[in-house]
Amino acid sequence: MKKTRIIGCGSLLMGDDAAGCQVARRLQEMDLPDHVEVIEGGTPGLKLLSIMQPGERVIIVDAVVTGAPAGTLHHFLEEDLPKPSVLPYSAHAIAIPEAIALGRHLEPELMPDTIEIWGIEVTTPLIKKMETSREVSRGIDEMTQRLVRELNIKD
Phi, psi dihedral angles at 2 (to 5 degrees): -65, 140
**Residue 119: pLDDT over 60:** yes
**Closest to 58 (Cα-Cα) out of 35, 29, 31, 26:** 35
Cα separation of 144 and 142, whole Å?
5
Q: Which domains does the chain have, with CATH numbers?
A: 4-151 (3.40.50.1450)
Question: What is the percent of the chain where pLDDT is above 90?
Answer: 65
Residue 128 pLDDT: 66
**Residue 155: pLDDT over 70:** no
Task: Dump pLDDT digits (tens) for 25-67.
Answer: 999 999 999 999 999 999 888 899 999 999 999 999 999 988 9
Which of the two residues, 123 and 59, has the higher pLDDT score? 59
Output the CA torsion sign for 81, 13, 22, 65.
negative
Which of the two residues, 123 and 29, has the higher pLDDT score? 29
Residue 86 pLDDT: 52
Task: Dump pLDDT digits (tens) for 64-112.
Answer: 988 999 999 999 999 888 776 554 444 446 788 889 998 999 999 999 9
Maximum CA pair distance of the chain?
43
Output the CA torsion sign for 121, 101, 146, 13.
negative
Q: Tell me the average pLDDT across 129-149.
A: 92
